[in-house]
C-alpha cells in the first residue's frame, strides 16, 4: 500500500512539475488512460531536453495535447514539435491535431504539416500594426458614429483572420490601442448602458440579431414555391402542378415545424431548434407547427407532451398542433421482390395483430443517400399507446411519416439537424412515389454544451440512480431545469442568437450561456440584501430605504428595518489580515450610510466567532472604508441551494476523457444546501420563478419547493464569471 501511495505521490509531483495545479494533477491521476499517456509524453520530452526542465508553456501544451489526441501513435511526433518550440501556442496545437485527424494512418509530409499549423511563421509587430490599421480604417465611419458601443468583437474577428498565427494578446492590445487613438478615452455617455444588444456570430452574420439572420441574410433558403431551385431536389413531371396547388393553399406563406419526441424533456440543444424553426417562420411572417414525433408507445408519457408544449410557450413562441412519427434503418430484406398483392395481404394481417412483435415489418423499396436500403415504413408494437390505447398495433416510422406530414401541412422549409441528411433521399422518394407535394429538407448544425449530458437515456440513468432529483434538477441543461434554476427565456434566446445560424455542429461552454443570463438579470432582477451564513452584529436603530435598481432608482425601492441587531456574512469578518471587517479595520454597510468598527469579538465554547459588538458612525464623518458589505435586520429565514457543474470533465461521455463512464464523473460538490440563510423581508411575497439579485452574492430564483412558511432560492449564476470554470 505504501509503495502505491508513493507511486501516486511521485506521479502528482511529475504532473505539477510541468505546470499543473495539485488539484488538476490529482484529478488527472484518477484517469488511468490519460495519466499513462501524459507520463509517456513527459518521458519523451525529458529525453529530448536532457537535464533541462519542461517550462510551463510547453507543459500546458503537452497536457492539452494528450487530452485531445486520438491517435496515440502520433504522441512522439507531436511531443517533439512542442519541446523543440516549433508548436508554441494553442492555436498551432489545434491546427496540428486537426491535420492529424484528417490524415490518419499516413506517412506525413512534414512540410505540408508544418504549413498547416504555422511552424516557423513569425508575425512582426509592424505586420500586426499594419493589419489592424486597415481594419480600423474599414470600420472608421461606424466607429466614430457608435464609439464604444461598436461591437469590438468584429475588429478582433477580422484581425485574427488576417493574422492567423499572431499572439492573440498582442493583437488585442494593438486593436485596443488604435481604437483609443481614434476615439479617445471613454466619456460618461460611452459608459451608459446600451439598450440594444448586438451579438458577434460568424463572419457572414456579424452584429446581426437572430431575426435578421433568419430573414435570409445569412441563409439563402429557397423562396416559397421555388422548391425546385434547391440543389438535389427531385423534379417529376407533376412537380410544377403540385407546387402551384401548394401556393394556392398557403398563399405563399412560409411554413416550418418543430417535431420533438414526447419521450423526454427538451434540452438546451432543442432551444436552437425552437429558435430556428419558430424564428424563421416569424421572421418571414409565416407559421410553425409543433408536431409530436409520436412513434413509440413504450417510452411516451403524458407529462412529456405537456412539458414540451410548456417549454415552447415559455421561450415565447406561438404554436399550432399536429403529430408525427419516427423510424429507423435495418439491413436489406430477403423479400425485396415479393409481389405487391402479397405484401398488401401481409400488411392487412399485421394491422389485425396476426404477427408477433418484431416478426414482420413493411418496408419501402429504395436506396437511401448513405447507401442503406429499404427503410422500414411500419412495424408492430403491442404496448398500449398513452393517447389511443390498444386501437393500433402497427406504428409508422420517421422515414414514412415525416415527409408525408410535412406534405400534408404544406411545410415550405423542413429544418432538421445534420444527422438527418442521409434521410433526405427517402424523404424525396416517398413524396414523389405517392405523387404528392414535396417540401424541401434543410440541415443545420446541432448545438451542444460541454460539462453536461443531454441524452434522454443518460438523464433517465441520472434520475434512476438518484444523482439528480428529476428532469428539472437545476444542475441539468434541460429547459425545465434551466427554468427552475432561474434562467430567463430571453437569455436562452439571446444565447441562440449569439451561437448564430450555423451549418456546422457547435459546441459551446456553459459560461457563455451564463453570460447571456447575467445580461438579462442585471436589468430585470431587483436587488435585495441577503446573507447566506449569518453572523450576529449588535449596533443602534434606524429605518432605511434601499433602491431595487441602484443604476436606475426611478424603477423603485423597498423599505428594510435597521435595528440594534443585524446580521452580516460570516466570511466578511476575520480576526486579522483581511480587506473587509477586522478588529482593526472598519467596514461600510451598503445603503445604510454607516461605517461599523469592532469593539468586542464574542466566541462560543469551541472558539468560533458567534457575535460581534460594534460601534457605528455616519459615513460622512469618517474616512471612507476600504469595503462595503451587505447586511440584514429582522430577516426572513430561507433555504438557499448553490449549484456547480454536475460533471468534473468537459466531455463526460467521451471514454478517452472519462474511461469509467459518465456516472463515475459526478462532481460531489455540485449542490450545496444552506438551510438557514437570511434575506430581507421585502421578498416575503415572492412567487415561484421570481428572480432577485442578492447583492454581492449572485442572482437567485424562487424554487417550486417554497412554502408559505419558508422560501427556497436557487442560485442561477454568480454576479461575475468564475475564472476557474472557463
DSSP code per residue over 309-370? HHHHHHTT---EEEEE------PPPTTTT--HHHHHHHHHHHHTT-S-TTT--EE---B-TT
| CA–CA separation, 286 and 282 (whole Å) | 6
| CA–CA separation, 435 and 417 (whole Å) | 26
pLDDT at 71: 73
Tell me how far apart the terminal alpha carbons of the chain are, to the nearest angstrom.
37
Residue range 125-190 forms a domain whose CATH class is mainly alpha
Decide if 478 contacts 472 (C-beta within 8 A): yes
Q: What are the sequence ranges of the domains in the chain? A: 1-117, 125-190, 534-629, 637-718
Q: Structure pTM?
A: 0.65
| Residue 681 burial (C-beta neighbours within 10 Å; 0-12, 13-18, 19+) | middle
Residue 655 CB: number of other CB atoms within 10 A? 11
pLDDT at 591: 87
146 counts as catalytic: no
pLDDT at 68: 82
| Residue 124 burial (C-beta neighbours within 10 Å; 0-12, 13-18, 19+) | exposed
Structure-block grid coordinates of residue 558: 423597498
24 counts as catalytic: no
Which residue in this structure is represented by grid cell 432529483?
469
| CA–CA separation, 158 and 138 (whole Å) | 11
| CA–CA separation, 312 and 320 (whole Å) | 11
| CA–CA separation, 531 and 570 (whole Å) | 8
| CA–CA separation, 323 and 313 (whole Å) | 17
Buried b (16+ CB within 10 A) or exposed e, 9-41: eebbebbeebbbeeeebebbbebeebbebbeeb
pLDDT at 332: 65
Active-site pick, 215, 446, 681, 696: 446
Active-site pick, 158, 174, 261, 695: 261
pLDDT at 185: 86
Question: 3-state DSSP helix/strand/coil percent for the chain, to nearest 5?
Answer: 40, 20, 40
Active-site pick, 39, 172, 387, 456: 456
SS3 229: helix
| CA–CA separation, 528 and 548 (whole Å) | 7
56 counts as catalytic: no
pLDDT at 641: 97
Residues of the chain with pLDDT under 50: 1, 194-206, 318-328, 541, 543
| CA–CA separation, 399 and 378 (whole Å) | 10
DSSP code string of 633-663: SSPEEEEEEEE--SBSSS-TT-TTT-TT-GG
Maximum Cα interatomic distance, the chain, rounded to a whole number of Å: 100
pLDDT at 304: 80
Q: How far is CA 549 from CA 523, 526, 592, 692, in A?
A: 8, 6, 16, 11
| Helix H or strand E encompassing 440 | strand 440-444
Contacts of 2 (CB under 8 A, 6+ apart): none
Q: Are strands 320-324 and 362-363 parallel, antiparallel or unpaired?
A: unpaired
SS3 138: helix
What does pLDDT average to over the chain? 85
Residue whose C-alpha is closest to residue 430's, from 342, 528, 378, 364:
364
Same-fold call for 534-629 versus 637-718: yes
The CATH code for residues 1-117 is 1.10.8.1290
| Helix H or strand E encompassing 93 | helix 90-102
| CA–CA separation, 379 and 362 (whole Å) | 7
Residue range 534-629 forms a domain whose CATH class is mainly beta
Which residue in this structure is represented by grid cell 451579438?
199
Beta bridge partners of 690: none
Q: Are strands 255-258 and 287-293 parallel, antiparallel or unpaired?
A: parallel
pLDDT at 632: 94
Q: Which CATH number applies to 637-718: 2.40.240.10, 3.40.50.261, 3.40.640.10, 1.10.645.10?
A: 2.40.240.10
Amino acid at each position: 500500500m505504501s509503495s502505491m501511495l508513493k507511486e501516486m505521490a511521485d506521479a502528482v509531483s511529475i504532473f505539477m512539475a510541468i505546470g499543473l495545479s495539485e488539484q488538476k494533477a490529482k484529478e488527472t491521476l484518477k484517469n488511468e488512460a490519460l495519466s499513462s499517456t501524459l507520463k509517456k509524453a513527459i518521458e519523451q520530452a525529458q529525453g529530448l531536453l536532457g537535464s533541462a526542465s519542461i517550462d510551463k508553456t510547453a507543459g500546458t501544451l503537452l497536457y492539452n495535447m494528450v487530452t485531445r489526441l486520438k491517435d496515440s501513435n502520433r504522441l512522439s511526433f507531436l511531443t517533439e514539435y512542442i519541446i523543440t518550440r516549433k508548436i508554441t501556442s494553442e492555436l498551432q496545437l489545434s491546427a496540428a491535431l486537426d491535420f492529424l485527424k484528417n490524415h490518419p494512418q499516413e506517412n506525413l509530409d512534414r512540410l505540408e504539416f508544418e504549413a498547416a499549423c504555422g511552424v516557423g511563421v513569425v508575425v512582426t509587430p509592424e505586420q500586426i500594426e499594419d493589419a489592424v490599421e486597415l481594419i480600423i480604417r474599414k470600420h472608421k465611419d461606424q466607429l466614430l458614429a457608435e464609439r464604444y458601443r461598436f461591437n469590438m468583437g468584429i475588429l478582433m474577428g477580422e484581425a485574427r483572420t488576417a493574422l492567423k498565427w499572431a499572439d492573440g494578446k498582442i493583437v488585442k492590445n494593438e486593436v485596443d490601442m488604435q481604437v483609443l487613438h481614434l476615439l479617445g478615452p471613454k466619456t460618461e455617455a460611452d459608459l451608459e448602458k446600451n439598450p440594444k444588444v448586438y451579438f458577434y456570430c460568424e463572419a457572414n452574420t456579424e452584429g446581426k440579431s437572430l431575426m435578421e439572420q433568419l430573414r435570409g441574410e445569412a441563409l439563402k433558403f429557397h423562396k416559397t414555391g421555388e422548391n425546385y431551385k434547391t440543389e438535389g431536389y427531385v423534379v417529376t413531371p407533376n412537380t410544377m402542378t403540385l407546387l402551384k396547388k401548394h401556393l394556392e393553399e398557403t398563399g405563399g406563406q412560409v411554413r416550418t415545424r418543430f417535431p420533438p419526441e414526447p419521450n423526454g424533456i427538451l434540452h438546451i440543444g432543442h432551444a436552437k431548434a425552437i429558435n430556428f424553426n419558430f424564428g424563421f417562420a416569424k421572421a418571414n411572417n409565416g407559421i410553425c407547427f409543433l408536431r409530436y414525433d409520436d412513434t413509440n408507445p413504450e417510452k411516451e408519457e403524458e407529462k412529456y407532451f405537456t412539458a414540451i408544449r410548456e417549454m415552447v410557450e415559455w421561450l415565447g413562441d406561438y404554436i399550432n398542433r399536429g403529430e408525427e412519427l419516427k423510424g429507423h434503418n435495418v439491413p436489406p430484406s430477403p423479400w425485396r421482390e415479393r409481389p405487391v398483392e402479397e405484401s398488401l395481404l401481409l400488411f392487412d394481417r399485421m394491422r389485425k395483430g396476426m404477427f408477433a412483435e418484431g416478426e414482420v415489418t413493411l418496408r419501402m423499396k429504395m436506396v437511401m443517400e448513405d447507401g442503406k436500403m429499404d427503410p422500414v415504413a411500419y412495424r408492430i408494437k403491442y404496448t398500449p399507446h398513452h393517447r389511443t390505447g390498444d386501437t393500433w398495433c402497427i406504428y409508422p416510422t420517421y422515414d414514412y411519416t415525416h415527409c408525408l406530414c410535412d406534405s400534408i401541412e404544406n411545410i415550405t422549409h423542413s429544418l432538421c439537424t445534420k444527422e438527418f441528411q442521409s434521410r433526405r433521399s427517402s424523404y424525396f422518394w416517398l413524396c414523389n412515389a405517392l405523387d404528392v407535394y414535396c417540401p424541401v429538407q434543410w440541415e443545420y448544425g446541432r448545438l451542444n454544451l460541454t460539462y453536461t449530458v443531454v441524452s434522454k437515456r443518460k438523464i433517465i440513468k441520472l434520475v434512476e440512480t438518484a444523482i439528480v432529483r428529476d428532469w428539472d434538477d437545476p444542475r441539468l441543461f434541460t429547459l425545465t431545469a434551466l427554468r427552475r434554476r432561474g434562467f430567463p427565456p430571453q437569455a436562452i434566446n439571446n444565447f441562440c442568437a449569439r451561437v448564430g445560424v450555423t451549418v456546422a455542429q457547435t459546441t459551446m461552454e456553459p459560461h457563455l450561456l451564463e453570460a447571456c443570463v447575467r445580461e438579462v438579470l442585471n436589468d430585470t432582477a431587483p436587488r435585495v440584501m441577503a446573507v447566506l451564513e449569518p453572523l450576529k452584529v449588535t449596533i443602534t436603530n434606524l429605518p432605511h430605504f434601499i433602491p431595487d435598481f441602484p443604476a436606475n432608482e426611478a424603477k423603485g425601492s423597498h423599505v428594510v428595518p435597521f435595528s440594534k441587531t443585524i446580521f452580516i456574512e460570516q466570511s466578511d469578518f476575520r480576526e486579522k489580515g483581511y480587506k473587509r471587517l477586522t478588529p482593526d479595520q472598519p467596514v461600510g454597510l451598503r445603503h445604510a450610510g454607516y461605517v461599523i468598527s469592532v469593539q468586542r469579538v464574542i466566541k462560543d465554547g469551541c472558539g468560533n466567532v458567534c457575535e460581534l459588538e460594534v460601534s457605528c458612525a455616519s459615513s460622512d464623518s469618517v474616512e471612507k472604508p476600504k469595503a462595503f458589505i451587505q447586511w440584514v435586520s429582522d430577516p426572513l429565514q430561507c433555504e438557499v441551494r448553490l449549484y456547480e457543474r454536475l460533471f468534473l470533465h468537459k466531455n463526460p461521455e467521451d471514454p478517452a476523457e472519462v474511461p469509467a463512464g459518465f456516472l463515475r464523473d459526478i462532481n460531489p460538490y455540485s449542490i450545496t444546501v444552506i438551510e438557514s440563510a437570511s434575506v430581507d423581508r421585502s421578498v416575503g411575497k415572492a412567487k415561484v420563478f421570481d428572480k432577485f439579485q442578492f447583492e454581492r452574492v449572485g442572482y437567485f430564483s424562487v424554487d417550486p419547493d417554497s412554502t408559505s412558511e419558508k422560501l427556497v432560492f436557487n442560485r442561477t449564476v454568480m454576479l461575475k464569471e468564475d475564472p476557474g470554470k472557463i
